[in-house]
């Protein structure tokens, strides 16, 4: 896929969504606070709708947003379980040492036996998280396109879509989006430092980025058919 073209298209799409569309921009900002509504609107973008969809049937958007939220939560259950089990095991080991009459201080000397387990667990969680994000993204877009909740977990179809996109192209497109997200995150941190108006500005701008991101991912998904 042409990542540069996807970025330009997504920027123009986000601009078209809000530029001189003040009523829609304000409503989308309010919807971002009531997050299921914004997640429902994001699903509309995932469906590949052009021009940007109008805001219609708030109840339907809310219900679809809840489905989106539940689908993502289910995807991240394994990550949560691995995180809890990994660090609980380390914590139990430390508390067992203390219960046996030993001393433990949070310094380099006492933490030394746990450094490799902590690094290993963190690396495992990170890798599992990345894999979950890559698969769940395509799964959620597939759910939007088919309007079927269970299609979010049709792993054979999801993996086939990623193969059609190309694992290398998909990873590169994802990394580019993560870099953009990081830069935007820095911008948001700077904006929030503005007294009184910072958070209001951040909410308005975050809506634009949400639309940009959704359009970009929809284009990545559609590149499987090119």
What is this structure's pTM? 0.88
pLDDT of residue 151: 95
pLDDT of residue 11: 94
Distance of CA 115 to the CA centre of its chain: 29
Nearest to 140 by CA among 45, 37, 12: 45
* Tens digit of each residue's pLDDT (9 = 90 or more) over 192-216: 888 888 888 888 999 999 999 999 9
Give every CB contact of residue 31 below 8 A, 6+ residues apart in sequence. 37, 38, 41, 55, 61
Q: Round to whole Å and give the CA distance between 58 and 120.
A: 45
* Tens digit of each residue's pLDDT (9 = 90 or more) over 86-120: 878 777 776 776 666 666 566 666 666 767 878 88
Q: Is 105 helix (H, G, I), strand (E, B) or coil?
A: coil
pLDDT of residue 111: 66
pLDDT of residue 71: 96
* Low-confidence residues in the chain, pLDDT < 50: none
Nearest to 31 by CA among 13, 44, 19: 44
């Amino acid at each position: 896929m042409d990542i540069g073209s996807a970025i330009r298209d997504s920027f123009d799409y986000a601009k078209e969504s809000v530029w001189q569309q003040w009523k829609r921009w304000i409503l989308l900002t309010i919807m971002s606070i009531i997050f299921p509504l914004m997640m429902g609107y994001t699903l509309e973008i995932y469906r590949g709708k052009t021009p940007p969809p109008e805001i219609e049937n708030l109840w339907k958007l809310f219900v679809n947003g809840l489905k989106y939220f539940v689908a993502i939560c289910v995807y991240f259950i394994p990550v949560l379980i691995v995180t809890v089990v990994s660090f609980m095991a380390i914590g139990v080991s430390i508390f067992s040492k203390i219960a046996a009459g030993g001393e433990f201080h949070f310094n380099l000397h006492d933490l030394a036996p746990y450094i490799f387990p902590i690094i290993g667990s963190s690396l495992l969680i990170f890798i599992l998280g990345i894999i979950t994000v890559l698969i769940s993204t395509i799964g959620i877009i597939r759910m939007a396109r088919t309007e079927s909740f269970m299609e979010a977990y049709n792993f054979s179809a999801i993996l086939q879509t990623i193969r059609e996109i190309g694992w290398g192209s998909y990873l590169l497109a994802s990394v580019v989006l993560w870099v953009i997200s990081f830069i935007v995150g820095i911008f948001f941190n700077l904006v929030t430092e503005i007294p009184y108006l910072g958070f209001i500005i951040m909410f308005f701008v975050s809506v634009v980025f949400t639309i940009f991101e959704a359009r970009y991912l929809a284009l990545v998904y559609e590149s499987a058919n090119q």
